[in-house]
Amino acid sequence: MSEESVMGGKCVLLTTSELVPGDVIATDPDGPWLVVVRTAPVTETKTRLQLRPLTGGPDLERVLPRYERQVVRTTRVDPADLPDPAAPRRRRVVVTGLGAVSPLGGDVPGLWQGLLEGRSGVSVVEGPDFDGLPVRLAARAAVDPADLLPRPLARRMNRSAQFALLAAREAWRDAGLDLSGTVASGLRPARTGVSMGTIIGGAPVMVESRLTLIARGPRAVSPYTSPMTVPSASAAQISKDLDIRGEARTFVSACASGTEAIGQAIDAIRAGRVDLVVAGGTEAVITPEILAAFAAMRAVSTRNDQPGAASRPFDAERDGFVLGEGAGVLILEDEEHARARGARIYCEAAGWGLSADAFHMAAPEPEGRGVEAALRAALADAGATPADVAHVNAHATATVDGDRTEARALCRLFGSHTRDIPVTANKGALGHLQGGAGGVEAVATVLTLRDGLIPPTVGCDHPEEGLGLDVVRGTPRPLPPCGDIALSNSFGFGGHNAVLAFRRP
């Protein structure tokens, strides 16, 4: 790391002799951050350092030249606040596979290329069912999942579950696993899990079933209707498809559902219940009923004549979100388990945080105190501080109140350094995937860490004055060299707030 890049970020160069307890240093460019616990001279030219890993673990000792320059963070840490070095070290969770179906593509490469190019996946929805609606905008998935699955299987699954299964299969392959399932992949079925988030799951199937009942009578109603309507269908289908027997859980927390599902999977691995989890979110809600309901709330954009410019996160002229659909899935794994099988590691799923606004069923708490609490909880869980953050993938739906609330929380979190943190919002390109948003945006955040590139925020041509954020616009921007944490935010109706913290490998 050059002196210029160090001094230009949130780090400085100090000699070993200048270090004092509480300084956070990196003695190895590829190693973890270490907190200085004690210093003692050994000779006139060397100093002994007692160092403690920032994320916990046994103390280390280094004897270094007194006048050798070290990379030191500008923020300091009280060693007494660190995890007890004698305590058992909790399992570290890593990301080893990614999968996605989105409005920008039927797989992860399509999603990532579309985000980097700044393309919009929003279009005008056609068909007699949508005629007469005041809003006819949506971000449909770039592929029809029913066309990519065997017909007998697709007929037994709702559209949301179809998305989930396709994304899970891609992530499974990407992690170097065999699509025949756990046993063929060398995994223990009972030590493998599924954790999926969704809001309504297969509820549209019930609406379709009622229309069929009215039009054609009870004998025309599909016998698969009941199992297709339950929100847990996605997790169950993935479990069955890949022979996953440890646990198959579903989380429903409005638009934070996918993010919470990933966070709960992190906890399941840390607790030792499972070694590997297929985790993410999925949703398929582009129906006349849902679109009409959001239009009645005046929550969605009405730019029917400008679909490509309809979703405008943080923009001064934003007028609401755009419904989207799709799924995003991560393979989360215990680090030792991943290394033992020779898996490629994208990054560490370092921590996550939850909070509740306890304020309103549809509106965010204006000052963003709940959002701030979730952000701080995620950093604490990751053993990190605001100074460690290099990037934020914002929830930013393009609603006036929602974007302002998130901006206020971020400004309080980062204080005077807020404009040093590049922020992007994927919903400008993808629309709002509801329960699937957290999964797809987590995939994008991991890819940002992998490639060191932050996608631009589509639709943010004129950022609202006074938000105080550095919104990435126009073209991709390199990830800052200092700071190793990227945050992925999700906030939902009812005041559900969830934040994921990913750490560079």
Name the residues annotated as catalytic: 255, 395, 432
First-to-last alpha carbon distance for the chain, in angstroms, is 16
* Contacts for 498 with CB less than 8 Å, ≥ 6 apart: 253, 256, 259, 260, 263, 352, 353, 354, 374, 438, 489, 490, 491
Strand partners, 36: 51
Q: Look at the chain and count its residues.
A: 505
Please state, in angstroms and rounded to a whole number, the distance separating the CA atoms of residues 95 and 218: 47
Q: Is 98 exposed, middle or buried (0-12, 13-18, 19+ CB in 10 A)?
A: buried
- 134: nearest Cα among 311, 286, 288, 317: 288
Residue 4 has which token pair? 């210029």
Please state, in angstroms and rounded to a whole number, the distance separating the CA atoms of residues 285 and 374: 27
Q: Are strands 496-503 and 485-492 parallel, antiparallel or unpaired?
A: antiparallel
* Contacts for 315 with CB less than 8 Å, ≥ 6 apart: 398, 459, 460, 461, 462, 463, 464
Residue 446 has which token pair? 């991991």
Number of helices and strands (H, E) in the chain? Answer: 14, 21
Q: Is 431 exposed, middle or buried (0-12, 13-18, 19+ CB in 10 A)?
A: buried
Residue type, 414: F
Please state, in angstroms and rounded to a whole number, the distance separating the CA atoms of residues 320 and 303: 9
